[in-house]
Amino acid sequence: MSSMHSPIPPVIEAPRSAPGRPRRGRTNTEMYAWLFMRISGVVLVFLVLGHLFIMNILDGGVQRVNWAFVAGRWASPFWQVWDLLMLWLGMIHGANGLRTIINDYTRKDGTRLALKGLLYTATTITIALGTLVIFTFDPTLR
């Protein structure tokens, strides 16, 4: 009967589309960041929950952790790769999460730039330090 009033789908602007700013370049960096969060997230669920279970609950938990314990674990390439993967994925996953939060809450360009500069510097140093320690650690030191 009222076929003249065919429903028109409402047009909703995409979130954070920043109408004034044209998109830069042809690659969709934000889409890859979004995808990375999901892929690294699934991997981290196993790596981190496994790590927390072994370190905090199994065999007396933190009480048994000391230098000799770490040396025993990092004598094995399996745990070296586990920890290295956890370090890289965890740090990048966390840094990208904090980048989103900085983008959400900063109002001035200067503040945003300063916070991101601090974030990327701290992240790079921490990943580099952790990687160096895993690769140059000598389990026979004592």
Binding site for another protein (CB under 8 A): 1-2, 5, 38, 41-42, 44-45, 48-49, 52, 56-57, 60-63, 65-68, 70-71, 74, 87, 90-91, 94-95, 97-98, 101, 122, 126, 129-130, 132-133, 136-137, 141-142
Whole-number Cα distances in Å, 52 to 32, 62, 78, 104, 142: 28, 10, 17, 30, 26
Nearer to another protein, 41 or 111 (CB): 41
Nearer to another protein, 15 or 22 (CB): 15
Distance between CA atoms of residues 18 and 20, nearest Å: 6
Angle 77-105/29-56 helices, nearest 10 degrees? 130
Whole-number Cα distances in Å, 107 to 85, 98, 111, 112, 124: 35, 15, 7, 7, 25
Distance between CA atoms of residues 87 and 127, nearest Å: 7
Nearer to another protein, 82 or 130 (CB): 130
Nearer to another protein, 23 or 50 (CB): 50
Please state the closest distance from residue 45 (CB atom) to another protein, in A. Answer: 5
Please state the closest distance from residue 32 (CB atom) to another protein, in A. Answer: 15
Distance between CA atoms of residues 5 and 7, nearest Å: 6
Please state the closest distance from residue 104 (CB atom) to another protein, in A. Answer: 9
Please state the closest distance from residue 60 (CB atom) to another protein, in A. Answer: 7
